A = this chain, B = another copy of it.
């Protein structure tokens, strides 16, 4: 292997005594991020003031950072741009796709999609007179028909880790004249995404999970080059204008992916993300995927051999799942609190799911072994059954 996962692990701040298996919710801080942000504030904002937009390149940063992400998701340079949040980018992509199929009114999604994507589509559908149709994940392929304007799918399920077949579903959608919007929230930086290979139409994702950009880091959006000059999202802002500083009264979309920009980009946050992406230089995505499968396979085998009362909630075939594994337990919330109290940080998802994310950049076999060991002890001893572990926090 040419990717050195020992070096990538050392690039992160990981607190002592913590086995962090929640990078699929919020990635840990890359050591470079803090210094880079401090430097940007001292050397750019302070000193350059308004001229930083040119001199420090703040204006082009959303596209340059997008280029760095493009390589990780099988897209080309100049095809990805950063900004806003994932929910906003879902709105942009779905609204742009729908306009390209003006004679059709159905947006199809599945019940394994992240709720915010469904909320966004509900709001859009209500506003423009479209219809959101939601089926079970396993019924998506059969539900694709000639009514569809847009297939809006999250590739990797946030609870089960089930991975949709992007290439096959995209081909089926295209056979029926529909366009696809892929949400890569749990894919980018986690699996070997190949947008161009799958001939997908639009893709969006967040950068605070496996890409470690920090809490609320900017989102990304990709449009297939064959559609980039036709896409017209509802959200039209000055940074997506063909000539933002001409201050024309009429909107004219910028060429290509730049039209997906909206307002003024968040430079401080973008700088933290840019620093976080340094870790990816030299990482081979096929090797990353192999490492991810090694970790998740070892975790499933370890838990099933050592931990009573839990049921695998993820596909057993690694080709059908992303880089996370979940198990069901009737008292999953309390079990997760007991785990966290012992330094193994995963996530609880309602109603009964224990979720563990494996980020190959910094998780290694020692994390798997420790998590299996501690989960086994907690479940065998029943030590999770304490009043404080049943007490729910405001945000989980």
| Chain A interface (Cβ < 8 Å from any Cβ of B) | 13, 15, 18, 20, 22, 25-26, 28-29, 33-34, 37-38, 41-42, 45-47, 49-54, 58-59, 83-88, 91, 95, 111, 114-116, 118-120, 122-124, 126-128, 134, 206, 208, 214-219, 233-239, 241, 244-251, 262-270, 272, 340, 345, 347, 349-350, 393-396
Complex CA distance for A261 and B312, rounded to whole angstroms: 35
Complex CA distance for A249 and B52, rounded to whole angstroms: 43
Instruction: For residue A94, give the distance in angstroms from its CB to the closest CB of chain B.
Output: 12
When the two chains form the complex, which single residue of B47, B247, B267 contacts A215, counting CB atoms closer than 8 Å?
B267
User: Assuming the A-B contacts A123-B233, A219-B263, A247-B115, are A395 and B29 also in contact, with contact meaning beta carbons closer than 8 angstroms in the complex?
Assistant: no
Query: Chain B residues near A238 (CB, 8 Å)?
Result: 87, 114-116, 119
Query: Chain B residues near A119 (CB, 8 Å)?
Result: 236-238, 241, 251
Query: Chain B residues near A124 (CB, 8 Å)?
Result: 234
User: Assuming the A-B contacts A115-B241, A248-B115, A350-B247, are A86 and B264 also in contact, with contact meaning beta carbons closer than 8 angstroms in the complex?
Assistant: yes
Q: Which of A13, A25, A45, A86 has the most CB of B within 10 A?
A: A45
Pairwise interchain contact A262-B85, C-beta atoms closer than 8 A: yes
Pairwise interchain contact B33-A41, C-beta atoms closer than 8 A: yes
Instruction: For residue A172, give the distance in angstroms from its CB to the closest CB of chain B.
Output: 24
Query: Chain B residues near A393 (CB, 8 Å)?
Result: 54
Residue of B nearest to A245 (CB): B396
Pairwise interchain contact B215-A52, C-beta atoms closer than 8 A: yes
Pairwise interchain contact A85-B86, C-beta atoms closer than 8 A: no
Complex CA distance for A59 and B340, rounded to whole angstroms: 20
Query: Chain B residues near A118 (CB, 8 Å)?
Result: 249-251
Query: Chain B residues near A214 (CB, 8 Å)?
Result: 41, 45, 267-268
Query: Chain B residues near A396 (CB, 8 Å)?
Result: 245
Instruction: For residue A205, give the distance in angstroms from its CB to the closest CB of chain B.
Output: 12
Top 5 nearest A-B pairs by Cβ distance? A85-B263, A116-B238, A123-B236, A87-B237, A87-B263
User: Assuming the A-B contacts A22-B49, A263-B84, are A216 and B127 also in contact, with contact meaning beta carbons closer than 8 angstroms in the complex?
Assistant: no
Query: Chain B residues near A247 (CB, 8 Å)?
Result: 115, 349-350
User: Assuming the A-B contacts A85-B263, A206-B264, A267-B215, are A42 and B50 also in contact, with contact meaning beta carbons closer than 8 angstroms in the complex?
Assistant: no
Pairwise interchain contact A268-B272, C-beta atoms closer than 8 A: yes
Pairwise interchain contact B123-A234, C-beta atoms closer than 8 A: yes
Pairwise interchain contact B236-A266, C-beta atoms closer than 8 A: no
Complex CA distance for A350 and B261, rounded to whole angstroms: 22
Instruction: For residue A104, give the distance in angstroms from its CB to the closest CB of chain B.
Output: 16
Complex CA distance for A162 and B147, rounded to whole angstroms: 51
User: Assuming the A-B contacts A22-B50, A123-B251, A263-B116, are A395 and B269 also in contact, with contact meaning beta carbons closer than 8 angstroms in the complex?
Assistant: no
User: Assuming the A-B contacts A28-B46, A34-B42, A216-B265, are A53 and B123 also in contact, with contact meaning beta carbons closer than 8 angstroms in the complex?
Assistant: no
Complex CA distance for A394 and B54, rounded to whole angstroms: 7
Complex CA distance for A272 and B95, rounded to whole angstroms: 33
Pairwise interchain contact B34-A394, C-beta atoms closer than 8 A: no
Complex CA distance for A280 and B54, rounded to whole angstroms: 29
Pairwise interchain contact A216-B47, C-beta atoms closer than 8 A: no
Query: Chain B residues near A85 (CB, 8 Å)?
Result: 83-84, 237, 262-264, 266
When the two chains form the complex, which single residue of B38, B51, B349 contacts A37, counting CB atoms closer than 8 Å?
B38
Residue of B nearest to A47 (CB): B15
Query: Chain B residues near A115 (CB, 8 Å)?
Result: 238, 241, 247-249
Complex CA distance for A38 and B86, rounded to whole angstroms: 25
When the two chains form the complex, which single residue of B37, B84, B233 contacts A268, counting CB atoms closer than 8 Å?
B37
